[in-house]
């Protein structure tokens, strides 16, 4: 114990795991985040699709550490790091001194150089993103109900999801269920069962990180829900009117971007090499090259597995890295030998398709259908922080399961009918 000052930037899975595992080792930990909440990102798509409400998947960070007198939480935006002075720079001009720095600042969505697509094709990384997508999806049905021109109505009832990774597949499945199962009885001028949900993937199959047989199953399950899967051609244009897939134009008033990820600027702050997605390339102990007191973890770090493949940008990977760095810092403070190099243990991949199908890939064991769906559900409820949220989410799901009705279907925020025109 001593006045060793630890600064953690980012209250995501990696940052929190690090702080949890460092308990008792140091007396001064400062956690900086520009948000006041930790977000359970794996369920964010359920907020975007009216299943869960925002407070069911996000918790005030400072509440999580109310009993940890060693942890100070600051709501502030980091703008840079002065590694020579060992200082973190905040937007208000003040600085924080550190002895050990952990950067766990995550990633955002990327448009591969087409940032002008963002306003018409929002991505899904924050609570605001989720409520934006929810609002747009719900408003599209509302406008279709009012539309007099059949072409406009069809474009309003066509939803395009770009990118068939887990997020894209999950969004497409639930939007299709919303249109085909939840909403039909509620509209008088339109038949929401005519809704088209188009999932576009430039690669040859959906969920490319899963085994081929599971990809095939997922595609079949999506098609059963009424999703149109278009593979092998990239989106070449996005506008308020629709998308161009290869050379073909699709009139679609609602577009969601689930295709690319860009790391936060941690590598730039440290002036160290990054990979193509902007992830800082770190050493085997997750330190920045030449900066032994600075660790980079989670989605903003580029780490390789023993077979040379990249560690995936998922919550369990970030948690393992946070736990590992806590071990390294503990060893250093205790004057003990450093632990062996970080080694990622893949626990399995999960994805859901709508509310009754899922796939689970544990490597040797591959599961699909309702068994996979229950494993997925229990795993996610288990990993939700906070007893109350576990119950609340379980209750929301049970309710939808029994009643078929989504409850979080609110159109909020300023962007009203009038603003969007």
Can you give the binding site for a copy of itself, defined by CB under 8 A? 34-37, 53-56, 58-60, 62-63, 65-67, 69, 72-77, 91-92, 94, 127-128, 131, 138-139, 142, 145-146, 148, 185-189, 386, 388-389, 391-392, 395, 399, 403, 405, 407-414, 416-418
| CA pair distance 335, 223, nearest whole angstrom | 58
| Nearest of 104, 22, 38, 105 to residue 70 by alpha carbon | 22
Question: Length of the chain, please?
Answer: 421
State the nearest-atom distance from the C-beta of 394 to a copy of itself, in Å.
11
Q: List all residues 6 or more positions away from 276 whose beta carbon is below 8 Å from its beta carbon.
A: none
Residue number with CB closer to a copy of itself (70 or 285)? 70
The residue annotated as part of the active site, out of 170, 212, 247, 420, is: 170
State the nearest-atom distance from the C-beta of 236 to a copy of itself, in Å.
30
State the nearest-atom distance from the C-beta of 9 to a copy of itself, in Å.
15
Residue number with CB closer to a copy of itself (347 or 405)? 405
* Own/partner long-range contacts of 344-347 (Cβ < 8 Å, ≥24 apart): 344/303, 344/305, 344/311, 344/317, 344/320, 345/320, 346/305, 346/312, 347/316
Per-residue 3-state assignment (H helix, E strand, C coil) for 232-263: CCCEEEECCCEEEECCEEEECCEEEECCCEEE
Residue number with CB closer to a copy of itself (111 or 397)? 397
Residue number with CB closer to a copy of itself (340 or 412)? 412
| Nearest of 107, 189, 205 to residue 146 by alpha carbon | 189
Q: Cα 38–318–369 angle (5° rounding)?
A: 90
Residue number with CB closer to a copy of itself (73 or 158)? 73
Helices (H), 264-407: 266-270, 315-333, 370-383, 387-403
State the nearest-atom distance from the C-beta of 278 to a copy of itself, in Å.
22
Residue number with CB closer to a copy of itself (128 or 213)? 128
Cβ distance 160 to 198 under 8 Å? yes
Residue number with CB closer to a copy of itself (109 or 143)? 143
Task: Name the residue with tokens 């899963």.
Answer: 210
212 in active site: no
Phi, psi of 221 (to 5 degrees): -65, -40
Q: Across the strands, what pairs with 244?
A: 237, 249
b/e map 24-35, b = 16+ CB within 10 Å: ebbebbbbbbeb
State the nearest-atom distance from the C-beta of 370 to a copy of itself, in Å.
24
State the nearest-atom distance from the C-beta of 401 to a copy of itself, in Å.
12
Cβ distance 47 to 53 under 8 Å? yes
Residue number with CB closer to a copy of itself (47 or 221)? 47
State the nearest-atom distance from the C-beta of 128 to a copy of itself, in Å.
6
State the nearest-atom distance from the C-beta of 342 to a copy of itself, in Å.
31
Percent helix, percent strand, percent coil in the chain, to nearest 5: 35, 25, 40
- Enzyme catalytic residues: 170
């Amino acid at each position: 114990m001593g006045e060793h000052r630890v600064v953690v930037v980012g209250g995501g899975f990696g940052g929190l795991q690090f702080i949890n595992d460092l308990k008792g080792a140091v007396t001064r930990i400062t956690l900086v985040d520009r948000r006041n909440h930790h977000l359970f990102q794996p369920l964010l798509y359920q907020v975007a699709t009216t299943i869960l409400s925002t407070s069911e998947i996000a918790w005030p960070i400072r509440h999580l550490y109310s009993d940890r007198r060693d942890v100070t939480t600051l709501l502030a935006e980091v703008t840079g790091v002065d590694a020579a002075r060992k200082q973190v720079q905040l937007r208000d001009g003040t600085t924080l001194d550190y002895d050990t720095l952990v950067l766990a600042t995550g990633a955002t969505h990327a448009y591969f150089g087409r940032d002008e697509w963002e306003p018409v094709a929002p991505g899904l990384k924050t609570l605001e993103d989720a409520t934006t997508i929810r609002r747009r999806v719900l408003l599209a049905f509302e406008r279709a109900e009012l539309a007099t021109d059949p072409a406009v109505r069809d474009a309003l009832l066509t939803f395009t999801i770009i990118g068939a990774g887990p997020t894209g597949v999950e969004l497409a499945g639930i939007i299709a269920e919303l249109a085909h199962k939840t909403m039909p009885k509620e509209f008088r001028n339109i038949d929401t069962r005519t809704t088209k949900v188009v999932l576009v993937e430039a690669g040859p199959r959906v969920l490319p990180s899963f085994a081929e047989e599971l990809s095939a199953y997922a595609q079949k399950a999506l098609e059963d829900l009424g999703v149109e899967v278009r593979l092998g051609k990239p989106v070449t244009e996005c506008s308020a009117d629709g998308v161009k897939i290869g050379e073909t134009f699709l009139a679609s008033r609602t577009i969601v971007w689930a295709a690319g990820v860009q790391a936060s600027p941690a590598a730039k702050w440290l002036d160290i090499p990054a990979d193509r997605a902007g992830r800082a390339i770190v050493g085997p102990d997750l330190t920045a090259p030449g900066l032994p007191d600075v660790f980079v973890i989670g989605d903003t770090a580029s780490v390789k597995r023993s077979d040379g493949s990249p560690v995936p940008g998922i919550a369990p990977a970030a948690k393992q890295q946070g736990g590992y760095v806590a071990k390294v810092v503990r060893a250093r403070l205790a004057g003990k030998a450093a632990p062996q190099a970080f080694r990622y243990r893949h626990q399995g991949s999960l994805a859901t398709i709508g509310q009754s199908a899922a796939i689970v890939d544990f490597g040797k064991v591959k599961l699909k259908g309702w068994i996979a769906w229950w494993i997925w559900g229990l795993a996610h409820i288990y990993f939700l922080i906070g007893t109350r949220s576990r119950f609340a989410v379980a209750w929301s799901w049970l309710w939808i399961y029994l009643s078929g009705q989504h409850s979080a279907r609110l159109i909020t925020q300023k962007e009203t009918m009038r603003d969007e025109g």
